[in-house]
Amino acid sequence: MTFFAFNSQDPALDVNQNLSMATQKLNSASAPTRKYPSSTEVAKLAGVSQSAVSRTFTAGASVSERTRKKVIKAAEALGYSPNILPRILLTNRSRLVAIVIGEMSNPYYARVLEEFSRVLQEQGNQVLLCSVGHGEYVDDAIPSLAGYRVDGIITAHPILSEEAAEQCEKIGVPIVLFNGRVRSNWVSSICCDNSAAGRDVADLFLKYGAKRFGYIAGGQETLANQDRSAGFINRLKESGISDIRSVSGNFRYEDGYQAALKLMEPKRPPQAIFCANDMMAFGAIDALRHEAGVRVPQEVMVAGFDDIPEAGWASYSLTTVRQEVGQMVQAAVPIFQTKAAGHENVRGLLKLVRGTLVQRGSTTGWIKRR
């Protein structure tokens, strides 16, 4: 694919000049073009009808074993692969599913992508990957994805505006959001029960006797962060705790590092810190140990969220909440398939999947102090 960048700020380049430049680039980039073998050529080489070729490459279609072998042999000789475009026009299904992922530097997103890809491909779908950068909106990618005639969009990126949801409904593309807030006829959400998980972490800290607490927040606009914060802080307040400090981060290692140092500034710093994800928890632990000179967990307990593989490493041994990605994917795919098949009785759904509290060394061994 060739992309052309037009400098709209340069007054010396008007529209005609831009078009001329684009045409020159296109002409230079388009020759020579590859000619793909056709089903007609396969049929001629195999000595069969064109419909026999079509049936050979259609799952469940009736074709004799002798004819099938002749067609496959001819197709391999010519390097032929069936064109899916006619099937799309005939069935209005491409079996192409777009997966929109945020920062791939976070192992959680890599795990989500791997699990979704595996399940979708097992069911005969192909995956179109769309990467959305940190702080960018999935909304901007929807028109381009719709142009690929995708059967649906699955996104682990939590931001989707009401306007984008309406657009999806107009073009008939169902969306399944991971930890998203928006719902409509064509938008459903699968969420970890973030609020319940926040309460579980608070209960763990309270069980060990902590009295002063810190929360390192993720992106303030995300549903996941809001629910984790609400569950954690409300549970503490229900238990009569008022000494709670919150510092904003943005789900990154360096955010957790700096936030932990801010939390340690008062004379009576927190005894327990809950981070909105594991990456920030890693940063918090490193800041406490290597810059603040604080022992974890003996002086300060730290817990995270996601249970990415690194959380189990001996250097962190992080207590965290595991998002049950496998269960979430298994709950998400049927919603998408039902909508893609045109069952209008299925409306936008919200399903909660309970997370699992995993206790490790970052909370065990805390020494209660006044």
| 62-115 pLDDT tens trace | 889 999 999 999 999 988 887 666 666 565 677 888 888 876 778 888 888 889
Q: State the CATH number of the domain containing residue 27.
A: 1.10.260.40
Does any domain span residue 10?
A: no
| Model pTM above 0.85 | no
Token duo for residue 86: 């006619």
Please indicate, yes or no, whether residues 210 and 316 belong to a single structural domain of this protein: yes
Mean pLDDT of the chain: 82
Q: Which pLDDT score is estimated for 48?
A: 93
Question: In the predicted model, is pLDDT for residue 31 greater than 60?
Answer: no
Q: Which pLDDT score is estimated for 153?
A: 86
Token duo for residue 80: 């032929």
Please indicate, yes or no, whether residues 137 and 208 belong to a single structural domain of this protein: no
Does any domain span residue 3?
A: no
| 115-163 pLDDT tens trace | 988 988 888 888 888 877 665 667 777 777 777 778 888 887 755 667 7
Please indicate, yes or no, whether residues 50 and 120 belong to a single structural domain of this protein: no
How sure is the predictor about 18, in pLDDT bands with cuts at 50, 70 and 90? very low
Please indicate, yes or no, whether residues 297 and 260 belong to a single structural domain of this protein: yes
Please indicate, yes or no, whether residues 167 and 138 belong to a single structural domain of this protein: yes
Does any domain span residue 315?
A: yes
CA angle, 306 then 247 then 351, to 5°: 35
Domain count, the chain: 3
Question: In the predicted model, is pLDDT for residue 369 greater than 70?
Answer: no
Strand order in the sheet with 350-353: 126-131, 96-101, 152-155, 175-178, 187-192, 350-353
Domain residue limits at 28: 15-83
Does any domain span residue 103?
A: yes
Please indicate, yes or no, whether residues 284 and 204 belong to a single structural domain of this protein: yes
Question: In the predicted model, is pLDDT for residue 285 greater than 70?
Answer: yes
CA distance readout (Å), 348 to 96, 99, 344: 21, 18, 10
Does any domain span residue 362?
A: no
Token duo for residue 156: 């682990």
Question: In the predicted model, is pLDDT for residue 190 greater than 90?
Answer: no
Question: In the predicted model, is pLDDT for residue 230 greater than 60?
Answer: yes
Please indicate, yes or no, whether residues 124 and 233 belong to a single structural domain of this protein: no
Does any domain span residue 363?
A: no
Does any domain span residue 275?
A: yes
Q: Which pLDDT score is estimated for 301?
A: 97
Which is higher by pLDDT, 37 or 240?
240
How sure is the predictor about 183, in pLDDT bands with cuts at 50, 70 and 90? low
What gap in Å lies between CA 279 and CA 275, rounded to an integer? 9
Please indicate, yes or no, whether residues 223 and 265 belong to a single structural domain of this protein: yes
Q: Which pLDDT score is estimated for 245?
A: 95
Please indicate, yes or no, whether residues 289 and 269 belong to a single structural domain of this protein: yes
Please indicate, yes or no, whether residues 317 and 334 belong to a single structural domain of this protein: no
- Which of 83, 99, 118 is the C-terminal boundary of a domain? 83
Please indicate, yes or no, whether residues 204 and 309 belong to a single structural domain of this protein: yes
Q: State the CATH number of the domain containing residue 347.
A: 3.40.50.2300
Does any domain span residue 370?
A: no
Q: Which pLDDT score is estimated for 280?
A: 97
Please indicate, yes or no, whether residues 306 and 203 belong to a single structural domain of this protein: yes
How many DSSP H helices and E strands does the chain contain?
13, 12
How sure is the predictor about 243, in pLDDT bands with cuts at 50, 70 and 90? very high
- Under a CB-based contact definition with an 8 Å cutoff, are residues 276 and 229 in contact? yes
